[in-house]
Structure 1
Amino acid sequence: MKTLSCDDKSGICYPSALDDAAATDEVSLTDTQIIYIGDPMCSWCWGIEPALRELQDHCEQRGLSFSIVLGGLRPGGGNPWNAEFKAFLRHHWEEIGEATGQPFSFDILERAHFSYDTEPACRAVVTARHMLAGASSRKLYAIFSAIQRKFYVANADPTQLGFYESIIEGAGLDFARFSELYEGDSARQWTRGDFELSHRLQVRAFPTLLARTDSGVVQLATGFARAAPLIGKVEAVFRS
């Protein structure tokens, strides 16, 4: 069984192991310099969200590209939606809220049924990335962030297609086209490609930030971090 595993002290969530399957990459890292690997339903990825917005602003000012790779925290779900798992989530979210200042709501924990399957939310981001081809990475991260907020603060259900309508339309995209792509086989393959790319990059925890340089890929940070240290690490790697 795939179980949710997060560490309150390190600011890390650990993804499920991938089943064996072939997939192709939809994202290209050829010209990418900063790579963020996360999952919209990873609670520490929500905790680090303000810092990543600042980092993205800094990268834009520096002319550094910024790409998002969906890591796949718990594709397919795992833990039974019972009192034990709900208590774990409540404690974990309270700890992250206290540590980071990010808002959390807990109404979803009163639901009788819910699947903590993170694949649909990842697929939504990958689908939006496909539709935004050539656009600023800021637009895609805004969608990623909006999914996080709607789940963690509004406690809406990201496994339902209707969850994404206001987010996609708010980004100026056509929801009918999004729906067609999102529910198709190609989007599932693209999403699987992201998960496998994350593993090939040897990412075993979220959130993770990597830098791609002329010398190869180096790790900037794994786990929760504030904006200033992240920006400092980027400057150290890309110092002119």
Structure 2
Amino acid sequence: MFDNHGSRRNESILDRVRDDAVSLSHRVSSADRAKIEEYLSSVREVEKRAASMRAARDKAAARAKDNGKTIAMMKRPDDGLPEDIREHMRLMCDIVALGFQTDKSRVATLLLNRDLSGLFYPFLDVQSTHHSASHRDKSDEYERISRYYCSQYAYLASKLDAMPEGDGTVLDHSCLLFISSMWSGNAHDSSKVPVLLTGGLSGELETGRVLDYIDKGDENRKLCSLYLSLMDRMDVKLDHFGDAENQLADL
């Protein structure tokens, strides 16, 4: 699923490893065999969903070529993305979770939306687009949108927490960071931003806390200081990153 090279690049990853999976199943206990089957079934399910969206994307590319347009200039669903974003976002979270579970990658960036988005959310009973709703950031509509995105973050965290790994779960050995580029869309205020960290990073991060840096002074509450701290805990040693030379205190 994550190897994009070779003559079998468009073939199911499960078909590529079928013989190895069968051989392994014959050598492990019945309990481990059940775990392998459960895992392979979850991969197959994600593969099917991804294949469906890939087919829609290929059709969109053909339409764009015929009409002399670029896909980026086309609206959903003509651009190959589903009009209902819920399944698409859930699939993206599932792919990230599988990448972590298989140790194919320990670093992933997932942008579910952008600042100037014109997305609508009829399933949330929201009439405004995302961007216009953000300019009324104390409205019920914007709260419903924000809760929806937080629920996607919680879904990914729950997926990782349900995956056993070593002496804990994949989430225990990972760190998720959820962040907004604005504190207030109405005021265009980015002088402070909310940040969520989830996962213990193999014991490197203490969870279950709320840290407030509002009164610490600008030099002591830089986002880049947070990034320096996280990289240090992942054994990436840097003297500075961005505009920060010191790690974030008390993290």
**Shorter chain as normaliser: what TM range?**
under 0.3
Give the strand-richer structure, 1 or 2.
1
Higher relative contact order (CA 8 A, sep 6+): 1
What TM-score results when the alignment is normalised by the length of structure 1?
Answer: 0.25
What TM-score results when the alignment is normalised by the length of structure 2?
Answer: 0.25
